[in-house]
Amino acid sequence: MADHSEFNIGELAREFGVTTRTIRHYEEIGLLEPMRRGQARIYSPADRTRLKLILRGKRLGFSLDESRAIVDLYDPARGNKEQLQALLARIQHQRDKLNAQLTDIKQMLSSLDDAEESCRKALKQEKEQTKTQANKKGKT
């Protein structure tokens, strides 16, 4: 990547650890709009930044549409205040959702612990009954 004014699809795929198919998919759904030079896709620094933001949104659990909405808010002429406010709201929503899921998971783990304990007690009782029955048979 000697020339940082443009990137090819392979360079971006390697840099961000995604497949070229992923990048082409983002292009197909309108998240990226590279220039064309013949059959080659040529990505600008702005395309690279968009890809970086889309992948960050993905890591944060945002849908592609949610990432698009946030990325599309950026307007260099007006700054990125609106974009940052939308991102903060989306982060809070995602945090609330994950905390609710965490509560559900903790409850499920507790239920699993209870079920496991019941099974172990039942097995122990079964074992003790079998032992007692064997002892009674041995005495008769």
**What confidence tens digit (pLDDT) does each residue in 13-40 have?**
999 999 999 999 999 999 999 999 999 9
Domain 1-61: top CATH class: mainly alpha
**What confidence tens digit (pLDDT) does each residue in 43-101 have?**
999 999 999 999 999 999 999 999 999 888 877 777 888 888 999 999 999 999 999 99
Euclidean distance between CA atoms 54 and 40, whole angstroms = 22
Task: Report yes or no: 73 and 82 within 8 Å, Cβ to Cβ.
Answer: yes
- Domain ranges in the chain? 1-61, 73-140
Euclidean distance between CA atoms 104 and 98, whole angstroms = 10
Give the position of tokens 């392979």: 10
pLDDT at 1: 43
pTM reported for the whole predicted model: 0.71
pLDDT at 31: 94
